[in-house]
Amino acid sequence: MFKYGPYSPSRMETAACPARFHAEYIAETRAKGSSTESKRGNVVHEVFEEITKGYMRQAPLTWQQVEEKLSEKIQKYALTDMGEIDFSIRACRAYMENAPQDLESVIGTEEHIAIRMGDSGKWVEGEWDNCDFRGKIDILKIRGNTATFIDHKTQPFVETADTFQMGFYAWLISVLYPQIEVVESILHFASPEINYYSKPFSWNKEMLANIESQSRIMAMSIEKLKDYPAVPNYQCKYCPILLTCQVAEDFYNRRTSFGKLKNAPVRSGQEAVELAETINVLDEGRHILNGRLQKFAKEIGPVLIQGKEYGYETFESVEPKSEASKWIILDVIKSTGLDPMKYFKLDATVLKTIWRHLTNEDIQKIKDQLTTVKNSRFGGRKL
């Protein structure tokens, strides 16, 4: 047994920042964070499970029943952000219309799987709280010699189903079901703007052996940690000690005045890395503080400081009254001799929506008329 286990993909990824890992899993007073994103994920996952079980029983839930489930989970996780509540509602509507196929082969939803090293030196099934490695699988299907599992993602972007997390789950399945010859992973992107299932990814024995080695090495490396420096990464938004992160504190201790900070050039690659790490922490911290201030302003009223007011203001925007109005506007622009296509442009978000309503032949016709245009803008992106 590991000191700081059982290890799951999320626990191992947390160790990318030793300071956060220490706060969550080692410190006597453990800091347990619950970000808005994780609350939303919990709500969506648990309601999806109820919807899936309804289809499996051949007794699909009504929307009124789903609303009741949503209200229970929103209260359970204290999800108060109206934007995230709206996301959860729309995601559940989309999932009801686009549930997985072949549900009769499902053997478990939110399936807890755990393994430990047995006395024989081989992996054996373990108990959830008495194991070395464990994970929760949203939907597990077995048909013949093939196991297929689906993992719901609430993130706003698409990725392929060959991630470390998916490989980790595939490895656990291969241990617990040795008769299985093929393990496939599928990602379901639950964002209502995406509502998409990835192509299945098959994990062969060599890949699974590599995942096993990677998991063992990562766990052993974490067990050997002696220092716990703060290392900013893309998961900072979920960090329970973000607002006291040593990275930002060190940054401001080195630069005591804003004027100096603003005018000082970056003199080395190392300093550039430090700046990027600090910006990452400050951006996520600002997001948290902004959310708290928004809540106060919404419930109590605007907040005034010297030269600035934080609060909500009403503004007006215009949009067509109906679908017919759009055609009228189009004809008016045409009548002036202007090219209306300069003012009605497709973007990536619109295209994702269109694909869901067209045949493959129609999609190909549109693709034939598109070209890729490269632009650049400065910013951070997930690696």
pLDDT tens by residue, 285-320: 988 888 888 889 888 999 988 888 888 888 777 778
Distances 307 to 80, 117, 296 between C-alpha atoms, Å: 30, 63, 19
> Structure pTM?
0.75
CA 129 from centroid of its chain's CA atoms? 25
Q: How confident is the model at residue 380 (pLDDT cuts 50, 70, 90)?
A: low
Mind listing the pLDDT tens digit for each residue in 156-167?
A: 889 999 999 999
Which tens digit of pLDDT belongs to each residue from 92-139?
Answer: 999 999 999 888 889 999 999 999 999 999 999 999 999 999 999 999
Residue 46, pLDDT > 90, answer yes
Region 254-258 average pLDDT = 58
| Amino acid sitting at position 161 | A
Q: What mean pLDDT comes out for the span 266-273? A: 86
pLDDT of amino acid 315: 72
Q: What is the pLDDT of residues 198-238, one digit of tens each?
A: 999 999 999 999 999 999 999 999 999 999 999 998 888 88
Q: How far is it, in rounded angstroms, from Cα 236 to Cα 87? A: 22
Sign of CA dihedral 168, 170, 173, 179: negative
- Higher per-residue pLDDT: 146 or 332: 146
Give the C-alpha distances (Å, rounded to integers) separating 109 from 103, 113, 150, 192, 331.
11, 11, 9, 21, 52
Percent of the chain scored above 70 by pLDDT?
94
Per-residue model confidence (pLDDT) at position 352? 67
Contact 205, 180 (CB under 8 A): no
**What single-letter DSSP state applies at residue 254?**
H
Distance CA 295, CA 292 (A): 5
pLDDT band, residue 37 (cuts 50/70/90):
confident
Q: DSSP letters of 83-112?
A: HHHHHHHHHHHHHHHSPPS-GGGEEEEEEE
Read off the pLDDT of residues 47-99 as tens digits, 9 standing for 90 and up: 999 999 999 999 999 999 999 999 999 999 999 888 899 999 999 999 999 99
Residue 348's pLDDT band (cuts 50, 70, 90) = low
Q: Using CA atoms, how far apart are residues 138 and 153, in angstroms rounded to an integer?
A: 10
For the cut 60, the answer to whether the pLDDT of residue 383 exceeds it is: no
Average pLDDT of the residues of the chain: 89
pLDDT of residue 382: 58
In the chain the first and final C-alpha atoms are separated, in Å, by 31
Which pLDDT value is given to residue 378?
A: 61
pLDDT-derived band at 354 (thresholds 50, 70, 90) equals: confident
pLDDT, position 182: 95
Domains, in order of start, for the chain: 9-223 (3.90.320), 245-298+305-310 (no CATH), 323-368 (no CATH)
The whole-number pLDDT of residue 165 equals: 97
Beta strands in the chain (DSSP E): 106-117, 123-125, 133-143, 146-153, 182-189, 196-197, 201-203, 303-305, 308-310
pLDDT score recorded for residue 356: 67
What pLDDT score does 261 carry? 59
